[in-house]
Amino acid sequence: MTDVTTLTAKEAADAVAAGDLDATELFEAYRAKAAADELNAFTWVADGAPEANGAAQLPLGGVPLAVKDLFCTEGVPSQSGSKILEGYLPPYSASVVDRLTAAGAPLLAKTNQDEFAMGSSNENSAYGPVLNPWDRTRVPGGSSGGSAAAVASGAAPWALGTDTGGSIRQPAALTGIVGLKPTYGSVSRYGMIAFASSLDQAGPLTRDVTDAALLYGQMTGRDPMDSTSLQHPEAIVMPTAERLDGLRLGVPEAITGEGIEPGVFARFEETLKLAQELGATVQRVALPHAEYGLSAYYVIAPAEASSNLARFDGVRYGLRAEASDLLSMYTKTRHDGFGDEVKRRIMLGTYALSSGYYDAYYGKAQRVRTKIAEDYKNAFEMVDLVVTPTAPTVAFALGAKTADPLEMYLNDLFTVPISLAGIPAISIPAGLSDNLPVGFQMAGPAFSENRILGAAYALERAIGFDATAGRV
């Protein structure tokens, strides 16, 4: 009997639908792998397969799903990587989790992440760092590092992550898998423990583009519980075209190779050549305000976080520190419960929102955000997709950037402007540099997921990335 965990999610779902594979057997095979977790990728693993429930008739065929810790899952620890939510058992599940369970993807495990999704390496988790399966001395990226490591290592067939400034795409790039950050609003945020609400978006981390299309197709949709959610104007289709004839790719003028590791830039240029061989054209596009993206993001995201995290006071959820009076209980709980990066962001955000500074920081950052969105709008008059490396580096060593937050923030250089614009983007593996995966990022206009997935599918075939070295 072949190892069923070597199948992609789509292959496994098809095998279950055809009656060639038992969904319970599939679940148990993954459960055993997840339980043996050597990468610290999981914060919770199911203790048994769900009751047989006619999975073969459902669109996701009973293929189990790993879910980032910050999605509320009823009766299952949902801690957002934070000590302040240690042992928190939500009374309900996030809409997207409910949707996927109903579509035939039962909950396999919860995955480790940076605390409240703040980070690019998973080293900000209160539950310890996640190791990169390609090289265990290196980070898997963040903040959805547990989801990425789980999928890359073969301990989960697919996973849910969230992306606020790059947290699906960057870990996907650093672990050699596919990560899709959907259009803001196209997936419900209801039941996601919030970081920065105007940016947070859930999306799939998968072994290939087909699996990303399959999972995203079941995630998207308007949810009355999230007033910012929207119905996708198109049905998500499974990509099949192997050519890119007539597709116009735009490379931002700022991408010159400077500030990008040479091996990463080389894979980027090779991928552009492949795209041209498949019939695409490549031209330069101007995104004059993208260079201010990181600065604007690191005002807007902490500002929203400082407000969202005000609810953690020791009264309603998780940790409560003992103290003699109410105010000291609040402050001691927050002092003990939040990690350093979260505290840094709360302070930054509170400062940026304080009266007298609001216009100078938050107001200005919002105006920059509008300019960046306009830049992309203008670019999409000339090209169909804007392409860049996903991150300027391959996976870095554990501890390499923890002493300098700015160094860490710089890893989000190419993902953050896209998040500010609210548009969708994918990262696909584009080869190796120093035996570590490199990501290729493609962004399109709002609701162009079909276009992005289609192009990614054709390129994936041409690239022929071999993921086996990342498997455990």
Stretch that binds ligand GLN, among 162-170, 186-194, 364-372, 441-449 (CB under 6 A): 162-170
Site for ligand GLN in 195-234 (CB under 6 A): 195
- Map residues 140-159 to x or -, x wherever contact with ligand GLN holds by CB under 6 A: ---x----------------
Contact criterion met (CB below 8 Å) for 61 and 78:
no
SS (H, E, C) 160-175: EEEECCCCCHHHHHHH
68 is catalytic: yes
Under rule CB under 6 A, how many of the chain's residues touch ligand GLN? Answer: 13
Q: Per rule CB under 6 A, is residue 118 in the interface with ligand GLN?
A: yes
Contact criterion met (CB below 8 Å) for 207 and 451:
no
Strand ranges of the sheet holding 42-45, from the earlier edge strand across to the other edge: 42-45, 107-111, 65-68, 158-163, 201-206, 178-181, 425-433, 436-443, 385-389, 248-252, 281-285
For the CB of residue 220, give the shortest distance to ligand GLN in the complex, in Å: 19
Cα torsion 369, 375, 380, 385: sign: negative
DSSP H helical ranges for 278-363? 293-308, 326-337, 340-353, 358
For the CB of residue 469, give the shortest distance to ligand GLN in the complex, in Å: 26
Q: Distance (Å, rounded) from C-alpha 219 to C-alpha 111?
A: 18
For the CB of residue 372, give the shortest distance to ligand GLN in the complex, in Å: 16
Contact criterion met (CB below 8 Å) for 181 and 220:
no
Q: Per rule CB under 6 A, is residue 441 in the interface with ligand GLN?
A: no
Encoded tokens for 317: 């959820």
Of the candidates 143, 419, 427, 448, the residue annotated as catalytic is 143
Q: Distance (Å, rounded) from C-alpha 150 to C-alpha 159?
A: 8
For the CB of residue 293, give the shortest distance to ligand GLN in the complex, in Å: 12
By C-beta, is 106 or 119 nearer to ligand GLN?
Answer: 119
Cα torsion 82, 337, 198, 443: sign: negative
By C-beta, is 143 or 308 nearer to ligand GLN?
Answer: 143
SS (H, E, C) 70-132: CECECCECCCCCCHHHCCCCCCCCCHHHHHHHHCCCCEEEEECCCHHHCCCCCCCCCCCCCCE
Contact criterion met (CB below 8 Å) for 170 and 419:
no
- Map residues 242-281 to x or -, x wherever contact with ligand GLN holds by CB under 6 A: ----------------------------------------
For the CB of residue 148, give the shortest distance to ligand GLN in the complex, in Å: 12
DSSP state of 66: E
Q: Per rule CB under 6 A, is residue 163 in the interface with ligand GLN?
A: yes
HSE, CB side, 13 Å, CA atoms: give it for residue 160. Answer: 36
Q: Distance (Å, rounded) from C-alpha 344 to C-alpha 121?
A: 17
Applying CB under 6 A, among 104, 166, 185, 445 the residue interacting with ligand GLN is 166
Q: Per rule CB under 6 A, is residue 294 in the interface with ligand GLN?
A: no
78 is catalytic: no
For the CB of residue 74, give the shortest distance to ligand GLN in the complex, in Å: 23
Q: Per rule CB under 6 A, is residue 79 in the interface with ligand GLN?
A: no
125 is catalytic: no
Q: Which residue is nearest to ligand GLN (CB)?
A: 167
For the CB of residue 201, give the shortest distance to ligand GLN in the complex, in Å: 9
Site for ligand GLN in 19-58 (CB under 6 A): none
Stretch that binds ligand GLN, among 117-125, 145-153, 353-361, 436-444 (CB under 6 A): 117-125
Applying CB under 6 A, among 4, 16, 49, 117 the residue interacting with ligand GLN is 117
User: Which neighbouring-strand residues pair with 397?
Assistant: 138
Q: Per rule CB under 6 A, is residue 301 in the interface with ligand GLN?
A: yes
Q: Distance (Å, rounded) from C-alpha 201 to C-alpha 189?
A: 7
Ramachandran class of 40: left when φ > 0, alpha when ψ lies in -120 to 50, beta otherwise: left
Encoded tokens for 226: 């999230």
Applying CB under 6 A, among 62, 81, 104, 119 the residue interacting with ligand GLN is 119
For the CB of residue 358, give the shortest distance to ligand GLN in the complex, in Å: 21
Q: Per rule CB under 6 A, is residue 160 in the interface with ligand GLN?
A: no
Of the candidates 10, 33, 68, 181, the residue annotated as catalytic is 68
Stretch that binds ligand GLN, among 115-123, 241-249, 331-339, 391-399 (CB under 6 A): 115-123
By C-beta, is 104 or 171 nearer to ligand GLN?
Answer: 171
Applying CB under 6 A, among 164, 229, 333, 427 the residue interacting with ligand GLN is 164
Strands 385-389 and 281-285 come out as unpaired
Residue 165's closest CA among 445, 380, 369? 369
Q: Per rule CB under 6 A, is residue 412 in the interface with ligand GLN?
A: yes
Instruction: Name the one residue in this structure whose structure tokens are 């969202």.
Output: 308
For the CB of residue 276, give the shortest distance to ligand GLN in the complex, in Å: 31
Q: Distance (Å, rounded) from C-alpha 295 to C-alpha 309?
A: 21
Q: Distance (Å, rounded) from C-alpha 192 to C-alpha 200?
A: 9
Applying CB under 6 A, among 82, 120, 122, 147 the residue interacting with ligand GLN is 120
Q: Per rule CB under 6 A, is residue 174 in the interface with ligand GLN?
A: no
Of the candidates 80, 82, 167, 306, the residue annotated as catalytic is 167
Catalytic residue numbers, as ranges: 68, 143, 167
Residues contributing to the site for ligand GLN (CB under 6 A): 117-120, 143, 163-167, 195, 301, 412
